[in-house]
Amino acid sequence: MITKINTVTLYVSDQQKACDFYVQHLGLHVRRDEDMGPMGRWLEVAPDAAQAGFMLASAASFGKQDQIGASADIVLHTDDVAGLRQRLIAAGLPVTEPETQAWGTFIKITDPDGLEIVVSQPR
pTM reported for the whole predicted model: 0.80
Select the more confidently predicted residue: 93 or 5: 93
Residue-wise pLDDT for 96-111, tens only, equals: 999 998 888 999 999 9
Q: Are 46 and 53 in contact (CB under 8 A)?
A: yes
* Enclosing H/E stretch for 116: strand 116-122
Note the pLDDT tens digit of each residue in 45-75.
999 989 899 999 899 988 888 988 877 678 8
Q: What is the pLDDT of residue 113?
A: 92
Report the pLDDT value the prediction gives residue 40, as an integer from 0 to 100: 86
Helix (H/G/I), strand (E/B), else coil: 88: helix
Would you kindly state where each structural domain of the chain is located, as residue ranges?
Answer: 7-122
CATH superfamily of 7-122: 2,3-Dihydroxybiphenyl 1,2-Dioxygenase, domain 1 (3.10.180.10)
Q: What is the pLDDT of residue 2?
A: 52
Tell me what pLDDT residue 38 has: 80
Q: What is the pLDDT of residue 72?
A: 63
118 contact partners, CB below 8 Å, separation of at least 6:
73, 74, 75, 76, 106, 107, 108
